Structure 1
């Protein structure tokens, strides 16, 4: 996060979403590991581009990044944590680091670091002892611990055009919040004790400009609460690195988003998991051009095939087919193979494959070829360029 994401993608801070996407595609193709095998610098650059695009292509993440800079990542791009940060800044407390909490530098002015333990210490009747965690504080602000749905996560997948047309399978290394095995995702240890929020009193007081009064929301006024799991700190989730084998459906394009239900971050305190979204990047093909679900291919034919007509074999992504070239076909003539284009992601009819005939003359002009060409020239009834006028 030390490098500015806009500088990494080489776009101004006012760049549109489309400009950001175009710049990412251009640079990603240039620095892709497949294009630069063994080049560690290109590989690192590609990782930086992906990190920058992941933030700036998401409107909510980009908004928080523009507001907080690299601190947005420390806040986990979480709007609730951002709101607590804003409340702190608007309260006029600009400095005074204490204890061992997480330091954040003020991105919106002031320039001073502060300690979140000091920030929330007054609210819950503690001093800046350094044992505060913003996640713990926000859990207490939210009230009784209840299950929460896990966050959605995004992974990018690079594909060839053939893979995009026919579908593909990928094994991805994914870092995500996973279910805590010690508490089975519940976030609670087996025993209870004094409520850590109200210290057993069952009530909270109003302080530090953030109103709290009446029954403690954590223990519902009982003064006792289940102790948080020592492994996950009460969230029910811990960071994990896992490998997932995913299937990319046929028909994707660059920018397509494929949803894999339940493969995102684990839910907090036993809640349902989020989803995993695959964002696809499809490489250009040297011979085939794609427009929507339709494909375009230049088909070379010989002079005799164009004049006399012929049956020729044509490769498609679904397998080889035989097509009939009509007699007296001109170079540039278009032929359509219905349904041989890309599948429709929306479940509609597949696209078509359009062939453009390209008449090829022999490379070597042997005496026989020259005699045949002279005979062919006599077959033209008029000048083929007589209508060519500017």
Structure 2
């Protein structure tokens, strides 16, 4: 069974495409269809632009060929080509400004019909030797649209039917008997159009399947990324308070100790005063809420993006300051002490004053050739001293390093 983050319900439109639904029902639901059109919009523009430029070049060749039939044919061909070139130029300007969809396809289809009709009408003035070539050229121009331009199938069918409906009377009722005699070429074009439309249908189905496949891959990739982010959060964040956990703190501290040549980080160990009595008095749910509020207060008082606050035990927290000096660290320690005090969380179970939740802080600075264990031991000794001398205060390890059994006991550990 697939994990939840990989499972996804496929819409009815996607299921129908996979079952190869008929040409007149290929479209997705509206939002998915718009996404499909946008994804292929640049490719569609490039192909249609190339087709129109090539037909302009073909028109110039046809004008040159008309000159072989006489000056009247050349003038007529030149006028028709000029008339057909104007909508082509306008389409080249307007198509990039339209969003992918029906309006863009209708503009191209109308322009393509003008070009095809202009080629066919030029045959009216051609000599008997050249008239049939214009019928063939108009049919090939229409035929090439379905093989080259990625129009959607419904629009392709409409263009093909309308194109043949226009070319048939132009050929059959042409004033040039030689062009009338070329009706068999037009019939051949009409018979070949279903084949080209079948090719277009297969191409569109393939494009839609590829679009769905890529879309699924993108969604699965995004789901995996979210799952990885979630796993990282679970491995690095404390679920109760939302700050870094002990594992994340240990890794960050070892990284900082490993770069002591560049900086000397400072460590603050923090303990909530008389927290066991708080739990006994108010219960564990209130104790959890107290820890959340204390963690938020600690985090709010940090100023540098590189500073880290972590919960490393039950009611124990740590703040790692990678780039602070002694003055800044002293300021941070006092700020977080006052920040917790300002919460004014009532603590009626503590035996001393004030009757609110407070914290004690031990501060230590890392030295060259120091270890993480030694730095934590000095900060812990300073924290012990802060509790032993009245709580609700911050004490530096360097202030107690010259005396006291507490420090000596840690040195021996």
TM-score bucket (shorter structure): under 0.3
Q: Which has the higher helix share?
A: 2
Q: TM-score w.r.t. structure 1 length?
A: 0.24
Compare CA radii of gyration and give the structure with the larger one.
2
Bigger proportion of residues as strand: 1
